[in-house]
Chains A and B, each alone.
Chain A
């Protein structure tokens, strides 16, 4: 079975601080990995995705994530957060044997203080 854990339930940062949100997955085979963001009151939007190739993936709004296969991790990073990054962030995994089925992590709520 595939599963996803996110280390932090709620992260509070000041503007300009650096961000790293942890994501670990459990699946023995080849995976596709995603980070989605949900701004307050809105739907989930894709931030970035990894399918193959360069393990360092760059997404929108200055976000990036690094796939470390040996650690089953796909951590999200941003060097300098803004107040507008306040949102909930979801990591998701899609194992290649699971067709279209995603498993989402529980989410990490990020609050950026102005």
Chain B
């Protein structure tokens, strides 16, 4: 079975540019999560969706960040404009959204470097 798929795996961009990260959750999963991992702050939840609807976006750092989930098999995280402090590894995770078994499965991550 294919796991969570993320693209690109690596992204290098210049400050001020728009960055779009993509995620395809595991088929049949109805919850999707975006995390950011840095040395300084560890693993932070940015936003999560349930049945394509954003449930909690309190972790989104600021208005430069936006996330969408137009359908059950695709989500994007966009940063516009990007800044050097956005450099991190961004993970997408998905789960089957039954309360009793919310195990999250992680994708390989996108390593973002903003120069």
- Partner-B contacts on A (CB < 8 A): 32, 34, 36, 42-46, 49, 51, 90, 94, 96, 99-107
Contact = CB atoms under 8 A, between A and B. Distances in A.
Given A90-B43, A102-B45, A96 B108 contact: no
Interface of B: 31, 33, 42-43, 45, 48, 50, 55-56, 91, 93, 95, 97, 99-109
B48 A100 contact: yes
Given A46-B103, A49-B103, A101 B45 contact: yes
Given A107-B42, A107-B43, A100 B95 contact: yes
Contact of B91 (A44, A46, A51): A44
B73 to A, nearest CB: 18
18 contacts: A32-B102, A36-B106, A43-B91, A43-B109, A44-B43, A44-B91, A44-B106, A46-B104, A46-B105, A49-B103, A94-B102, A96-B99, A101-B48, A102-B33, A103-B45, A105-B42, A106-B42, A107-B42
B107 A100 contact: no
Given A43-B91, A44-B91, A96-B99, A102 B104 contact: yes
Report whether over half of chain B's contact residues are helix, strand or loop; otherwise say mixed: strand
A87 to B, nearest CB: 14
Kindly name the residue among A100, A103, A106 whose own CB sees the greatest number of chain B CB atoms within 10 A.
A100
A45 B33 CA distance: 15
Nearest to B94: A100
A29 to B, nearest CB: 12
A50 to B, nearest CB: 11
A49 B91 CA distance: 20
B24 to A, nearest CB: 14
Given A51-B100, A104-B43, A99 B55 contact: yes
